[in-house]
Chain A
Amino acid sequence: QKVSVEVLEHLEHLALVDFRDLEGVERLQKAIQFADQLQEVNTDGVEPMDSVLEDRWCLYLREDDVTEGNCTKELLENAREKVEEYFVAPPGNIPLPKLEERETFLQGS
């Protein structure tokens, strides 16, 4: 089964990366085919494993004490666009253009 254009477009939206060309789409198809082999394994009664350290229970919560910080200057150094102590972003809440309006490879599909 081939992945539908709707799903491909949805993925581009979620991932915010594009397929770019037919090769990109085929890469996904092959990846799915490869992953389908998992269905051959009988996993009845098997619990999913999140971490190999599950028995040791090391993910803990620490006390809510401030132990470090005050590094605003260092953190801002690597940002390209900033104003005073703010990272500057273009306007938000503007959805990506729909498929028809976008310049994307998928338009041809």
Chain B
Amino acid sequence: AALNDGLRSQVSAALKEGRVSPTELCQRCLALIKSTKFLNAYITVVEETALKQAEESEERYKRGQPLGILDGVPITVKDNFNTAGIETTCASNMLKGYISPYNATVVQKLLDQGAVLLGKTNLDEFAMGSGSTDGVFGPVRNPWSYSKQYKEKSVPKSHSEDEESNWVITGGSSGGSAAAVSSFTCFAALGSDTGGSTRNPAAHCGVVGLKPTYGLISRHGLIPLVNSMDVPGILTRCVDDAAVLLGSLAGHDPKDSTTIQDDFKPFELPNLTDVSKLSIGIPKEYHAPGLSSEILALWSKAADLFKNAGAKVVEVSLPHTRYSIVCYHVLCTAEVASNMARFDGLEYGHRSDMKDSTESMYAATRREGFNDVVRGRILSGNYFLLKQNYEKYFVKAQKVRRLIANDFVKVFRSGVDILLTPTTLSDAAPYTEFIQEDNRTRSAQDDILTQAANMAGLPAINVPTALSERGLPVGLQFIGRSFQEKQLLTVAKWFEKQVQFPMIQLEEVKRHDSDVFQHQKSASFS
């Protein structure tokens, strides 16, 4: 099997038939991780345990008893998910050295199905950010920065300037996971999505990023940011793979009382050929200020694609869209203020040497452990939660949240099945440019198209669509009805097939897996 193969259709068959072994796959990925170290996508790599898991998987295949499609498949997990016996840092000094005593439910589920955990990926500190640039382990580099496609299009400013300063960000906060999937070092990765943290880096790294409906997948063991919006996110190279992952993760968890109790039935995606019964909504407010003309054109082209194929394409309105980001800002900081209160140095994590009093120890620990972004959100959140501000900000934001959620309800009730929007305002920015604005400003700008789905709890997916003029990936987003992931993914898969997004041409990958390029698609959407 080649690193670019789909899980259900190719990898699983290859493993069952013995054409490739789990150990081989694992070793290939580990070698690639080493040669792409400059991407800084991984915080921890667990080579020994991964190889051991691969060996155990191999035994199962030899006995003809694999646990499922994921048996033997190398995966990675964002470093804000607890993984038993493995350091979980959230890219923060606060949790450096913290060894999780348990597995997050989603991690346990993957392991129970024989998946091989390669390591933990890099992120913005405590998942706060939209660049994967603000963690203590440094920024993650977008693999596309080193692609033939990007290098061909970039004009060096002076011949002494090398590609070192030209690299672009992955987006965030699940940048490490997106980069890992994009550079073929794993077949799938878990991210988290609170305001777009899975879809944003997916768009910038040219991979599929799925945000499931809130309540579908357990958050137990996912270190919380915003309890009412967080969801585990799925990053894969194709929509079919996302469906496979979804099937293995979704379902009620008694340890997370915010998961719905309905039975979840894993599904295979049909190959949709007739879209004439589909109604696609184009929310006009998503033509947001700052949207690049390139992406606007792509969005329009995508709408035409559906129209020409016979689908009904209508313009719709989500009138409260522009307040969504403000509302998110208040609710997010308020919940963060509460969630970050657990970090006091007593039971786990960093602890200051300060001994004068409990409170001074807590204060010193938190001052030493948190970066500016985290501290800023905690302080803002506490401000909005002050007695004199509670009604004006927090309760007000909760009311606006209902209005935003209702906007979506109205649109879906009017007969629209799926919404089509851009995922990001532009393609990935160079790191040097990105860091010129502060984290809060950037997040406010970059989350604008993604976070309303978190406010309303709806499922949403980024599908890589085309390359920009700079040779970088651009994705489009589909938003579906609550718990209608099958319909959402079916449409996404149809779209994916139409656009034939090109594969990244990375020197490092070519060296390790010459088969990878045999599936090169020649047609492309742009």
Interface residues of A (CB under 8 A from B): 3, 7, 10-12, 14-20, 23-24, 27-28, 30-32, 34-35, 37-41, 43, 46-53, 56, 58-60, 62, 71, 74-75, 77-81, 87, 89-92, 94-97
Contacts and interface: CB of A to CB of B under 8 A. Distances in A.
B382 interface: yes
Interface in B333-379: 333, 337, 344-349, 351, 354-363, 366-367, 370, 372, 375-376, 378-379
B383 interface: yes
Instruction: Name the 7 nearest CB pairs between A and B, nearest first.
Output: A52-B457, A48-B398, A94-B357, A78-B348, A43-B399, A49-B402, A74-B101
Sort chain B's interface into a size bin.
35 or more
A79 B346 contact: yes
A44 B330 CA distance: 19
Interface in B304-351: 320, 323, 326-327, 329-330, 333, 337, 344-349, 351
Contacts of A30: 440
B359 A16 contact: yes
Residue of B323, B354, B359 with most partner-chain A CB within 10 A:
B359
Contact of B254 (A62, A71, A78): A62
Nearest to A68: B255
Contact of B402 (A16, A24, A46): A46
Given A34-B444, A35-B393, A51-B258, 19 more contacts: A12-B379, A15-B379, A17-B367, A18-B363, A20-B375, A27-B376, A28-B379, A31-B329, A41-B320, A48-B395, A48-B399, A49-B398, A49-B402, A52-B228, A75-B101, A78-B101, A78-B347, A80-B345, A92-B358
A39 B359 contact: no
A56 B260 contact: yes
Given A41-B400, A43-B399, A58-B259, A53 B351 contact: no
Nearest to A81: B351
A15 B362 CA distance: 10
Nearest to A75: B101
Nearest to B344: A16
B403 interface: yes
B371 to A, nearest CB: 11
A57 to B, nearest CB: 10
Contact of B379 (A19, A34, A91, A94): A19
B214 A89 contact: no
A11 B382 contact: yes
A60 B257 CA distance: 7
B274 interface: no
Contacts of B440: 27, 30-31
B380 interface: yes
The SS class assigned to the B binding surface is helix
A47 B356 contact: no
B396 interface: yes
A31 B336 CA distance: 14
A52 B214 contact: yes
Contacts of B399: 41, 43, 46-49
Contact of A92 (B99, B337, B357, B482): B357
Given A28-B379, A52-B405, A62-B254, A34 B359 contact: no
A46 B346 CA distance: 42
B258 A53 contact: yes
Interface string B450-489: 0000011100000000000000000000000010000000
B359 A48 contact: no
Contacts of B392: 39
Contact of A49 (B254, B386, B393, B401): B401
B300 interface: no
Contacts of A80: 345, 351
Contacts of A94: 356-360
Contacts of B358: 89-92, 94
Contacts of A41: 320, 323, 396, 399-400, 403
B258 A16 contact: no
B438 interface: yes
B86 to A, nearest CB: 13
A64 to B, nearest CB: 14
Interface string B64-102: 000000000000000000000000000000000011011
A90 B361 contact: yes
A49 B260 contact: no
Contacts of A53: 214-215, 258, 260, 457
17 contacts: A11-B386, A12-B379, A16-B362, A16-B366, A17-B363, A20-B372, A38-B327, A38-B330, A41-B396, A48-B398, A49-B402, A52-B214, A52-B228, A53-B260, A53-B457, A75-B101, A78-B99
